């Protein structure tokens, strides 16, 4: 069996308060929401956000009947649950994105923002997402752009060793990667997606600009220049819309979860757990207060 790549674990972290709340990132948050709205279908049946964390973007999914917030961290998902309350549309799922616990062809829309930079094996992740995407579905991906203007200038000034022009990902800190746009598109195509419109976001992600220029004005400017992603991709953050080919098999109605180890479909929750019916596997997973925990079997 192939060894599973390492996963960045935010379990027990103060990510929400340390990185987002009152931390001067209103500009990034608003700019990313604009890009998401431009690429994500506004309505649908099922949506999954991969790496949803504490649910920062959950209020963008009001047009969907069922929304899965998926993350490796149980504690961040509990924060999302506390924030969103008892809205029955939301399902909270903890698990490893290299072994997604869902049946094939399930999701109309997949969203992934600010998390691909933790993927040690992006091609393996893309294959998993292509498996769970419904035929004809949509995948909105944001990724950290290796070939951004700041990195290019630093490289030319000999202030960084790695080249922003080389296609391979660069791990600048452990489990933190930047990606070349062309490499990302190639890997998405290999996985079975069709990359389409690209938006360039967060051009003005500089402390001096955020301190001296009103946030609303910066966001307005960002909204205008996002369209340059079609021809010029020099921003630190790129959004790309990906189509999933039609003609495959959609998930059978009433099926949803699958064992992340053997991909056998799972039935109903019994005594707070889901049990794999495959006798050669027979793993069990805990379900507690609407949090489905596939991080490891019981």
Predicted structure pTM score: 0.96
- Alpha carbon separation from 139 to 49, 77, 121, 233, 239 (Å, rounded): 10, 21, 18, 19, 10
User: In angstroms, rounded to a whole number, what is the distance separating the alpha carbons of residues 65 and 84?
Assistant: 15
Nearest CA-CA partner of 64 in 168, 134, 149, 166:
134
Nearest CA-CA partner of 146 in 158, 135, 155, 133:
155
User: In angstroms, rounded to a whole number, what is the distance separating the alpha carbons of residues 95 and 51?
Assistant: 10
Nearest CA-CA partner of 7 in 81, 88, 78, 99:
99
Confidence at residue 1, expressed as pLDDT on a 0 to 100 scale? 45
Helix H or strand E segment including 170: strand 170-173
Nearest CA-CA partner of 237 in 191, 277, 185, 179:
179
Structural domain boundaries in the chain: 15-254, 257-289
Cα angle 134, 285, 102 (rounded to 5 degrees) comes to 5
Confidence at residue 248, expressed as pLDDT on a 0 to 100 scale? 86
Q: 96: number of CA atoms within 13 Å, CB side?
A: 16
CB 286 within 8 A of CB 266: no
Confidence at residue 2, expressed as pLDDT on a 0 to 100 scale? 59
Listed in sequence order, the residues at least 6 apart from 70 whose beta carbon sits closer than 8 Å to its beta carbon are 48, 49, 50, 51, 52, 93, 94, 95, 97, 100
Q: What are the pLDDT tens digits along the chain (298 aa)?
A: 457 899 999 999 999 999 999 999 999 999 999 999 999 999 999 999 999 999 999 999 999 999 999 999 999 999 999 999 989 999 999 999 999 999 999 999 999 999 999 999 999 999 999 999 999 999 999 999 999 999 999 999 999 999 999 999 999 999 999 999 999 999 999 999 999 999 999 999 999 999 999 999 999 999 999 999 999 999 999 999 999 998 889 999 999 999 999 999 999 999 999 999 999 999 999 999 999 999 999 9
What token pair was written down for 137?
Answer: 């579905």
Confidence at residue 168, expressed as pLDDT on a 0 to 100 scale? 97
Residues in the chain: 298
Look up tokens 């099922």; give the residue. Answer: 46
Give the pairing of strands 176-178 and 170-173: antiparallel
CATH architecture of 15-254: 3-Layer(aba) Sandwich (3.40)
User: In angstroms, rounded to a whole number, what is the distance separating the alpha carbons of residues 141 and 133?
Assistant: 13
């Amino acid at each position: 069996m192939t060894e599973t790549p390492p996963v960045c674990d935010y379990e027990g972290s103060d990510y929400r308060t340390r990185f987002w709340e009152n931390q001067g990132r209103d500009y990034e948050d608003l700019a990313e929401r604009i890009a998401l709205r431009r690429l994500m279908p506004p309505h649908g049946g099922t949506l999954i956000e991969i790496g949803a964390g504490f649910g920062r973007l959950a209020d963008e999914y009001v047009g969907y009947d069922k929304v899965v917030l998926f993350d490796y961290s149980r504690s961040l998902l509990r924060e999302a649950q506390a924030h969103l309350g008892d809205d029955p549309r939301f399902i909270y799922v903890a698990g490893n994105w290299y072994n997604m616990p869902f049946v094939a062809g399930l999701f109309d829309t997949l969203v992934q923002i600010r998390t691909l930079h933790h993927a040690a094996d992006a091609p393996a992740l893309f294959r998993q997402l292509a498996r769970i995407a419904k035929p004809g579905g949509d995948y909105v991906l944001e990724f950290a752009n290796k070939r951004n203007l700041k990195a290019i200038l630093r490289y030319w000034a000999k202030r960084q060793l790695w080249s922003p022009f080389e296609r391979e990902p660069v791990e600048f800190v452990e489990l933190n990667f930047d990606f070349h746009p062309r490499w990302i598109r190639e890997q998405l195509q290999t996985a079975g997606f069709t990359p389409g419109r690209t938006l360039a976001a967060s051009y003005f992600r500089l402390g001096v600009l955020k301190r001296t220029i009103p946030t609303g004005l910066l966001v307005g400017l960002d909204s205008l220049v996002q369209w340059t992603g079609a021809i010029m991709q020099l921003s630190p953050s790129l959004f790309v819309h990906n189509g999933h080919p039609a003609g495959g098999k959609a998930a059978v109605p009433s099926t949803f979860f699958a064992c992340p180890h053997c991909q056998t479909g799972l039935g109903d929750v019994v005594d707070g757990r889901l049990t794999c019916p495959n006798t050669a596997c027979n793993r069990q997973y805990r379900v507690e207060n609407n949090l489905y925990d596939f991080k490891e079997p019981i």
